[in-house]
């Protein structure tokens, strides 16, 4: 009988594989790591700075965090958060904004100081959007950096909204937070949230850069389901290339943990 989680050491970091159909165990594992990071950073410097992700994958993780908070096992009063990305343009009140997502799944469910939760502002005028992105990086730095960054991965290997590109590895690793254009695969996948209409998906987004994400002290990357298997395998075993942004994690493998289910791990070799 298989014992879960399976634990693999790979070029892209430690990989934990959970049984298919058991996202709860995987989410519990992620929530344990987040709680540990919050406690450790709180003890070390009186606050914890978390980088957060949206998408369907982290939803069970947020449920676990909320549950722990309700049980009195996790406090958010010393926690500062920065979200990976946000569509542009979009109102924070739009049901599909990532601000709304975070409000629904976490911020409204726990006692967190509202002005300690940072999500890119999808309403800044065009003329100020680059400055707004640069400011996000400065705020993170001024807060002493991210203690832990939670990540998902796109079907095309994107992390945050750092889409596949033909940049050199050095250039990709130096990418700051900025405005980007969505890749067609990303827009197609996002369409399910916009009534199935890819044309309703904003064409652009603000994203933390690879440099910003990789400066986190610890990275947890989560992927579930067969749709992610190819991106996961290319990221973990493939060449390090900006064409598969997830593969760039191989350059910082010692601080990366992958949390997968069997379906997402299906194309890994070990």
- Judged by the rule CB under 6 A, the positions of this chain that interact with ligand GLP are 53-57, 84-85, 152-154, 160-161, 186
Instruction: Give the chain's length.
Output: 270
Number of neighbouring beta carbons within 10 Å of residue 36: 12
Nearest 5°: phi and psi at 259? -115, 110
Sign of the C-alpha dihedral computed for residues 108, 153, 256 and 64 taken in this order: positive
Q: Which is nearer to ligand GLP, 170 or 197 (CB)?
A: 197
Catalytic residue among 121, 163, 218, 261: 163
Catalytic residue among 85, 86, 121, 189: 85
Contacts of 150 (CB under 8 A, 6+ apart): 30, 34, 50, 51, 52, 53, 58, 61, 220, 222
Active site residue 77: no
Catalytic residue among 147, 158, 189, 218: 158
Number of neighbouring beta carbons within 10 Å of residue 166: 9
Catalytic residue among 156, 162, 218, 261: 156
Q: Which is nearer to ligand GLP, 77 or 95 (CB)?
A: 95
Strand order from edge to edge, sheet including 85-88: 85-88, 204-207, 178-181
DSSP-derived 3-state class of residue 96? coil
Active site residue 85: yes
Minimal distance, residue 266 CB to ligand GLP, in Å:
16
Q: Which is nearer to ligand GLP, 53 or 148 (CB)?
A: 53
Minimal distance, residue 32 CB to ligand GLP, in Å:
20
**What's the CA gap between 247 and 21, in Å, rounded?**
26
Contacts of 36 (CB under 8 A, 6+ apart): none
Minimal distance, residue 102 CB to ligand GLP, in Å:
12
Cis amide bond preceding 121, omega within 30: no
Minimal distance, residue 1 CB to ligand GLP, in Å:
30
Minimal distance, residue 193 CB to ligand GLP, in Å:
9
Minimal distance, residue 111 CB to ligand GLP, in Å:
25
Q: Which is nearer to ligand GLP, 154 or 164 (CB)?
A: 154
User: 5: closest CA among 13, 16, 15, 14?
Assistant: 16
Q: Which is nearer to ligand GLP, 186 or 250 (CB)?
A: 186
Give ∠ CA 15-17-50 in degrees, rounded to 5. 60
Active site residue 143: no
Q: Which is nearer to ligand GLP, 40 or 191 (CB)?
A: 191
Q: For the CA atoms of 228, 231, 235, 240, what is the dihedral angle to 10 degrees?
A: -170
Active site residue 69: no
Please list the active-site residues.
Answer: 85, 156, 158, 163
């Amino acid at each position: 009988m298989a014992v879960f989680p399976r634990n693999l050491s790979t070029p892209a970091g430690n990989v934990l594989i959970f049984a298919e159909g058991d996202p709860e165990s995987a989410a519990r594992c992620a929530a344990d790591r987040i709680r540990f990071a919050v406690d450790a950073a709180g003890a070390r410097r009186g606050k914890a700075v978390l980088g957060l992700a949206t998408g369907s994958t982290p939803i069970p993780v947020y449920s676990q965090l909320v549950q722990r908070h309700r049980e009195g096992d996790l406090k958010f009063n010393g926690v500062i958060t920065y979200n990976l990305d946000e569509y542009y343009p979009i109102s924070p009140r739009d049901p599909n904004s990532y601000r709304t997502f975070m409000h629904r799944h976490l911020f409204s469910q726990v006692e967190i100081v509202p002005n300690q939760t940072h999500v890119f502002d999808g309403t800044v005028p065009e003329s100020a959007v680059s400055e707004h992105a640069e400011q996000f990086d400065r705020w993170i730095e001024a807060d002493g950096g991210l203690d832990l960054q939670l990540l998902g991965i796109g079907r095309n290997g994107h992390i945050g909204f750092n889409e596949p590109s033909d940049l050199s590895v050095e250039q990709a690793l130096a990418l700051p937070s900025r405005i980007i254009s969505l890749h067609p695969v990303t827009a197609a996948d996002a369409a399910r949230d916009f009534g199935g209409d890819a044309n309703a998906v904003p064409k652009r987004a603000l994203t933390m850069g690879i440099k910003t994400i990789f400066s986190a002290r610890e990275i947890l990357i989560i992927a579930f389901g067969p749709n992610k298997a190819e991106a996961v395998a290319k990221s973990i075993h493939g060449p390090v290339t900006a064409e598969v942004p997830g593969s760039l994690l191989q350059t910082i493998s010692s601080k990366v943990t992958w949390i997968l289910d069997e379906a997402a791990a299906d194309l890994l070799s070990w």
